[in-house]
Structure 1
Amino acid sequence: MDQTHTRAMEALQPFIHLANSNSATSPKFVANLITNATSSPNTYVFAELLETPTVQALRSEDTPPEYQGYLTLLEIFAWGTWQDYQTTPNLPTLNNEQTLKLRLLSLLTLSATIKPLAYQTLMDALSITARSELESLVTTAIYSSLITARLSPATTPPSINVTSVAPLRDVKPQFLTAMVSMLTQWESRCSNVISDIEAEIAKIKADSAKRRAKEHAKTALVEKTLQNWTADGGELNTRSLGSKKGWHGGLRGGSSGFVGNKREFSGDDLDDGYWDNGVDGTFDAQLAASKMDIDQGAGSSIMGSAGPGARHAKRVLGRKS
């Protein structure tokens, strides 16, 4: 609860106790009680005092006419304005303290309903003729923590910039039904927003659970693959790659049937019925010349145009004897 409202409630408590005491037996006593409560400098809320049986008893037809207007006066202090007092007949005359109090309470209502708050508008609503008197009233309201405002007398038109208003006006009973309806609608809108938020949270959680399950399945598959690899001795089986080991560590495959360096082949590996020498075991230069040197390109031979100094092949294929 706002501190200003708390202080106002505390200031009203003595008057509520008097209204509920055994002394409050006459309309005159209740009328004096209302006058003192509305004149006190710290009382700004009066609904609790209005609800007491002794104050409500002033509505009785047996109440003397001179005291019947005090209940209406207290209602104006609770939720009315200065203009309501001016237009309502048969009300008690206000003293100086009550006049200041009602104008301050009216200033609260006007500050909350009129934007911008011009000097002339306030002077007409509060029956004030001098600008200095209005500025004094606004200054009193500021120092009493009723409003937070800044005077702007040099603007055109002169105005008062109110930024906050203390919650010190009581609610008229006729407005309670409308307020309950507005609050019910607001509660319904809040419930719809909360439902939408909860549905979105549930969707996010479901999507997250699906992602975790998918990641867990991938992790399980990787772990199973690693376990199978370890069970096979820690080495990959080349047959699983669709190839076989060939001679000298090469792999069969490719367009030529082997993958590897041509220097890794030997005549023994390619056992096609030839040896390095001729059929009789002697070196056959003509036979050797007809074979391609494995280390040289096509068209070269052991006995080339370079003569006897030319480099001989490492091995020449010949037919086995």
Structure 2
Amino acid sequence: MASLEPFLLISKSAKGAAAAKLVQDVTSAPGVFVFAELLELPNIQEARSIVTEQHAPCFSLLQLFSYRTFRDYLGRLRHVCACTLLTLLIAEHKDSLPPLNQAQITKLKYLTIVTLATERHILPYSLLLEELQVATIRELEDLIIDAIYLDVLRGKLDQKEQQLEIEYTMGRDLEPGKLEKLLEALQSWATTTATVLSELDQKLIEAGTYSAAVQLANEQHEKVYLANLKMVQERQKDGKGGRRGQLSQNSVDSMDIDELPSDGPKLRIRKPTMDAALKQSQRKRNRA
């Protein structure tokens, strides 16, 4: 837009030959890729009704760069060249186009890629070679790289698959009568986007519910695990204390054990009973 501003200032006073010259200059100028504001100016619109060999083509030329393609230029040029001189002067003169210089041809090819990118995300080299009338793939790739540097488009050159993958393109002027079609496309896109967003929201809700359930299950599992671990530790502790108490209670004087050495005579140590102790005490008193 900033690149077009100087031409808009000049165009306010440009008429006739000056307007035609202005169109030639703006379509050749580097960095200028939108022309709608210039095309709508009254003095430029007047060129549409001027039927002179010098001024008539400027309006058609501006239309070409606003929203048409290199193929449109080639088709129109071939059609004009096929006409008789009389037909050219009478019927086709207002729609004829002047020859383009190299800067204009290159710019129109950039804009053609932009238009093609609105129809498909991946542009095969074969399609681009045909639409742009480029002789070699090397020349085509150089053209695309220049367009990327100018920020006309962004994309990736896939030399293996012989295609251009589009990521972004600048916008072009909208041709009269195409607004309704654009609005329909935008409405369809909005509907599709709303459906996709609704499905994504549902998926997010389901994912959140599942995540909460998994977290709750993990927490419950952790609680059960810790409880079981604590119970096992307490049982182990109680078991060790019980055995120590038992060993203290069953001391040597209360043990009734058979010692069975592997290489000696068997010895039997028996704890004296309470009755035997009483009888022994009674015998000592009787002797006394």
- What range describes the TM-score normalised by the shorter chain of this pair? 0.5 to 0.7
Task: Write the letter of the residue equivalent to 1:25.
Answer: K
Unaligned runs of 5+ in 2: 81-95, 195-288
**Contact 1:73–1:85, Cα closer than 8 Å, also in 2:** no
Deviation, 1:114, is 2.9
Match of 2:169 in 1: 165
Aligned length: 177
CA–CA distance in structure 2, aligned partners of residues 72 and 91 of structure 1: 7
Unaligned runs of 5+ in 1: 1-8, 192-321
Match of 1:248 in 2: none
Task: Write the letter of the residue equivalent to 1:177.
Answer: E
Aligned ranges for residues 1-321 of structure 1 at < 5 Å? 9-21=1-13, 24-26=14-16, 28-60=17-49, 62-88=50-76, 89=80, 90-155=96-161, 158-167=162-171, 169-180=172-183
CA–CA distance in structure 2, aligned partners of residues 115 and 133 of structure 1: 21
CA–CA distance in structure 2, aligned partners of residues 46 and 190 of structure 1: 31
Length-normalised TM-score, structure 1: 0.51
Q: Which protein has the bigger helix share?
A: 2
Kindly provide the CA deviation profile for residues 142-179 of structure 1, in whole angstroms up to 9, marking residues without a partner as x: 11112111111222xx1111122222x00001112333
Calculate the aligned-residue CA RMSD, in Å. 2.5
Deviation, 1:67, is 2.1
Task: Write the letter of the residue equivalent to 2:137.
Answer: R
Q: Secondary structure at the match of 2:157?
A: strand
Task: Write the letter of the residue equivalent to 2:25.
Answer: N
CA–CA distance in structure 2, aligned partners of residues 114 and 174 of structure 1: 22
Distance 1:120 1:30, change over 3 A: same
Q: Which 4+ stretches in 1 moved above 4 angstroms?
A: 180-191
**Contact 2:31–2:150, Cα closer than 8 Å, also in 1:** no
Length-normalised TM-score, structure 2: 0.56
Match of 2:215 in 1: none
Kindly provide the CA deviation profile for residues 179-208 of structure 1, in whole angstroms up to 9, marking residues without a partner as x: 3456678889999xxxxxxxxxxxxxxxxx
Q: Rg larger in 1 or in 2?
A: 1
Deviation, 1:11, is 0.7
CA–CA distance in structure 2, aligned partners of residues 63 and 54 of structure 1: 15
Distance 1:184 1:113, change over 3 A: closer
